[in-house]
Chains A and B, each alone.
Chain A
């Protein structure tokens, strides 16, 4: 049995928005009954991109782009909320909002905790991503957003086919769900969702040199990670949970060690840390 799903690799997303534009190109001005009515030309984001700026100037700022679309959940709240079949799950797992039956049902928007259902004011219907079911049924192998992705950050396929790329990634345990706490058996999963990092730059204050190969230990009281700075004196530990306290200790032979307490409310940028001689 085919069960369509998507894996989104954040570490390969360059933020070009091709997925979003392809979606607009496919649906704005184009009706595909009985799958979907045309998307409004503005204001709807069937695939939207959350941009998270990471870190503070000057180090080490980066951007994580997280595309968010309907997760086509196997246990979707929206399907449960639609008592009269306004939203249904196809045999291949794709969740569809019926553009006829859903007329006037604005309340269905709030059934989705991912907030990926948009209201079409003109047509008076709730709308969302269909995984381009009309194209898949016509023989396409992937939706428009996946076809338009230049870096293969978006991957699409049959989760029940063990040979598909998406099934392999899921089986390898490389993916995670955006909000596992919703317990909805999402069929969209992610690689590299942004977590928290702790980073800084260490400098030998006496010689005005970047401090290479300095030992940095980062500990949460139980577990400890030990890093070495690079030639620019930089260190960075990524993938940490948020809202947790850590102790950062910086030490190098002949210099006074320094200890800091940091809290991962956001990414932690410790700036330039100057070591002084013992």
Chain B
């Protein structure tokens, strides 16, 4: 039944799929795919009115103008060009085994990252996997198996990666889970929640109707470390871009505070304030100083809506430490002139200002990110957050967790939801032994571990006070890793240390399943080919675009490439060998799961299964009463007594009693937020001793031309000059942005291949000399595919996360730290490197697509 597709008159067919990359059964970027003769002819935006002629899009009316969705999906370039990924020369063609890994003999863990691979049959691969799981279960117990199944990827409900194996492992007796943490909003989760609750994100909740209210009442939007032209693409599409043009059109000023002139600032900014990375806390404090000394804040609101202001005031004015946090004090720290700081403070106090935030960005993922995040909320509170025009809202993930309160745009009647049938990741499915994702290397190399909080992204603040440990007293250390999201190397922290961890003899078996031979696949012992979503039947929902909310069957577009199978099918095949297929699948075929998805999604009440398949999609109507709902925290603003926040006092807490009681000695996240340049956990400030050797700060955000490490092989985007820089050797290097002053001082020219390095290692990159980055900083996107020259030490691919700080946000806050850290940059002698490492420099390589799977095949001759 899932084979039903519309036959067009030319003999081809058109199907619909979501090409967003959130991965967790919440999609966007819906496309029409035209197929003919088994080939994808074109991928287009979906025209929402294709089968529904009388759609009534929502309208926001403000200042005499109207804003409404477009009648087509606003997809990003990497959805439009997705053919490239499907036909990537780096697809895993068949099951592969590391040539010097012998499960019956020598396992050679020390060669992970350098060994080549040989082809094996599915039969042989499954035999090895089953016997290894059995052996490990007997020898250590099931908790010796670590599930690495989180991260973003293609969004599928039935066939997706991201944890299909978890249910099977549970049926087999358990496993150890790498927990899904708050990667991208660390500061708000570990910091801001202690100020204003706003469970579970720590970002303002609810954001209901905020964009409509901003359009009517806001004078300026501060895009603080937020790039609306980058991060939203893979999750929501490009409505964010249209909104930014709309804000300008109706006279709202767009102020960008960021070390780089990011892609949003490049086209939308009325003012760019180039701050040094991770010094935002100092800027906030200086603004608070101006307001306190001039009395230009909402004193009444502070009295009625907040708690503990005096202690904050004592710190800002210098009564606590003898240092008044004046604009002159903040100027050398932030790199912003004191007169600009004053002007910004005065403007803010006289106007209605809202904060637009993205996920990621330079202000929220650095060392001690709790501090700027908390200060951002405290300053919003000093100007009466919740009043008309004064909010914080996200330019991304409009509909996260399928909750209406996460949608700042006009609401649909309901949010279609496939969580019930998702075969992969499930929030509620957390086993008793788990490890935070950024402590995996420590868990392997330096056990035992202790930390606070599950670190799970959806857990409440109370969790942050509960101690946890690994291994559990009655459990085992991990000895096998099963990953269906093999992207540690380009996305986690200090990943050179992951190489050392994965080379430990403790890790006896690493199993990876993935469509592309990239990143952690190079460290695996068995690599299984999985399909892309073009190659299977599935079901999807559009819930994040902000435009329309809809559900659609996702028929197969083309036959699987090579010997690839869906992630779900792979686990089914393994389950069958344990005689657990029936339990694993609940007796349902994939087709039946798709039907179950339709039944559970919420749309079945409104459209029959037959009609759903015939039309190919169903659009949820708007909530007719959306305008009646209060905007953001308006209820709290109007009556805090009856509408308390989720803090112990129900108010905004300048001083957190909870932190004071639970962590009395923690000077890295004290009860009142502070400017913390360095401490026991991190020494990453330009004013630290390390800066003498590594005098530049790295800013690293989510990428423009990728979602994390996805899409790095798209030949078409790789010809865009901000995507890759062609080195003199023809290799396409990841760009590093250098201000002409920084480049000139190091005799680096535009297009040169350079080395970015610190004590944790080095990577090569292509110099892009530009005015779009301030001096003192270098900018590089995260997620470029790892292409090791010396695994654990030197990377050619430009994976900056190989050298990010090792430690978490602070002593008791387990966030990731991947921006705002010290490095030095220098030119390299490519010829000398090539001579020294001939193998690495002569691997098979496509001069546009980059990495090709032949480079890892045993017996494949190098070109050198």
Contact = CB atoms under 8 A, between A and B. Distances in A.
Contacts of B42: 25-26, 30, 144
B771 A53 contact: yes
B715 A16 contact: no
Interface string B253-292: 0000000010101110101101000000000000000000
Contacts of A43: 719
A172 to B, nearest CB: 18
Nearest to B350: A231
Contact of A24 (B239, B716, B775): B716
Given A15-B263, A62-B266, A210 B343 contact: yes
B774 A21 contact: no
B621 interface: no
B739 A57 contact: yes
B466 interface: no
A46 B238 CA distance: 23
A199 B343 CA distance: 18
A231 B347 contact: yes
Contact of B77 (A17, A151, A272): A17
Interface string A202-214: 0110001110100
A42 B771 contact: no
Contact of A151 (B41, B76, B238, B739): B238
7 contacts: A16-B238, A21-B77, A42-B715, A57-B774, A58-B272, A63-B267, A231-B347
B771 A55 contact: yes
B283 to A, nearest CB: 15
Interface string A19-63: 011101110101000000000011101000001010111111111
Given A15-B267, A233-B343, A234-B271, A53 B719 contact: no
A203 to B, nearest CB: 5
Given A56-B771, A57-B274, A232-B340, A150 B347 contact: no
Contact of B772 (A18, A24, A61): A61
B237 interface: yes
Contact of A203 (B263, B274, B339, B770): B339
Contact of A208 (B239, B338, B772): B338
Interface of B: 41-45, 70, 72, 74-77, 80-81, 83, 229, 233, 237-239, 241-242, 245, 261, 263, 265-267, 269, 271-272, 274, 328, 337-340, 342-344, 346-347, 715-717, 719-722, 739, 770-775, 847-848
A18 B267 contact: no
A191 B41 CA distance: 33
Contact of B81 (A25, A62, A65, A147): A25
A148 interface: yes
Contacts of B45: 147-148
B83 A62 contact: no
Given A21-B81, A232-B340, A30 B241 contact: no
Contact of A58 (B44, B266, B774): B774
Contacts of A62: 261, 265-267, 269
B721 A147 contact: no
Interface in A241-256: none
Contact of A14 (B267, B274, B773, B774): B267
A147 B75 CA distance: 11
A53 B263 CA distance: 12
A20 B274 CA distance: 31
A41 B715 CA distance: 8
Interface of A is mostly: mixed
Nearest to B705: A17
Given A12-B245, A21-B81, A24-B81, 16 more contacts: A13-B267, A14-B229, A15-B229, A16-B229, A21-B80, A25-B80, A41-B715, A42-B715, A55-B771, A57-B739, A57-B773, A62-B261, A63-B261, A144-B44, A148-B44, A148-B45
B848 A42 contact: yes
B91 to A, nearest CB: 16
A60 B347 CA distance: 19
Interface of B is mostly: mixed
A147 B72 contact: yes
Contact of A63 (B74, B76, B266): B266
A61 B339 contact: no
Q: Which of B77, B237, B342 is most buried by chain A, counting CB atoms within 10 A of its CB?
A: B77
Q: Which of B271, B716, B739, B773 is most buried by chain A, counting CB atoms within 10 A of its CB?
A: B716
A30 B37 CA distance: 12
Contacts of A63: 261, 266-267, 772
A233 B267 CA distance: 21
Q: Which A-B residue pairs are the 8 nearest by beta carbons?
A: A150-B238, A63-B266, A150-B74, A210-B343, A21-B81, A21-B77, A42-B848, A24-B716
A25 B847 CA distance: 19
A210 B342 CA distance: 8
A206 to B, nearest CB: 11
A204 to B, nearest CB: 8
Interface residues of A, number: 47
A55 B75 CA distance: 30
A274 to B, nearest CB: 10
Q: Which of B83, B266, B337 is most buried by chain A, counting CB atoms within 10 A of its CB?
A: B266
A210 B271 CA distance: 14
Contact of B339 (A18, A20, A148, A233): A233
A28 B44 CA distance: 15
Interface string A136-151: 0000000010011011
A63 B272 CA distance: 13
B44 A147 contact: yes
Contacts of B328: 208
Contacts of B237: 150
Contacts of A209: 339, 342-343
Given A42-B848, A150-B74, A21 B263 contact: no
Contacts of A22: 44, 80
A21 B241 contact: no
Nearest to B237: A150
A13 B238 CA distance: 12
A272 B338 CA distance: 13
Contact of A61 (B233, B261, B721): B261
Interface in A180-194: none
Q: Which of A28, A63, A203 is most buried by chain B, counting CB atoms within 10 A of its CB?
A: A63
Contacts of B43: 25
A30 B265 CA distance: 37
A57 B338 contact: no
A20 B81 CA distance: 10
B77 A16 contact: yes
Contacts of A26: 42
A57 B342 contact: no
Contacts of B271: 60, 232, 234
A51 B721 contact: yes
Contacts of A28: 716
B847 to A, nearest CB: 8
Contacts of B261: 61-63
Contacts of A20: 77, 716, 720
A41 B263 contact: no
A203 B331 CA distance: 15
Contacts of A51: 721-722
Nearest to B266: A63
Contacts of B241: 14, 16, 150-151
B772 A53 contact: yes
Given A17-B720, A53-B772, A148 B80 contact: yes
Contacts of A58: 272, 274, 774
Contact of B76 (A12, A16, A55, A272): A16
A272 B847 CA distance: 45
A276 B721 CA distance: 44
A49 B359 CA distance: 28
Given A22-B80, A150-B237, A231-B347, A15 B266 contact: yes
B77 to A, nearest CB: 4
Interface in A70-97: none
A25 B77 CA distance: 10
Contacts of B773: 57
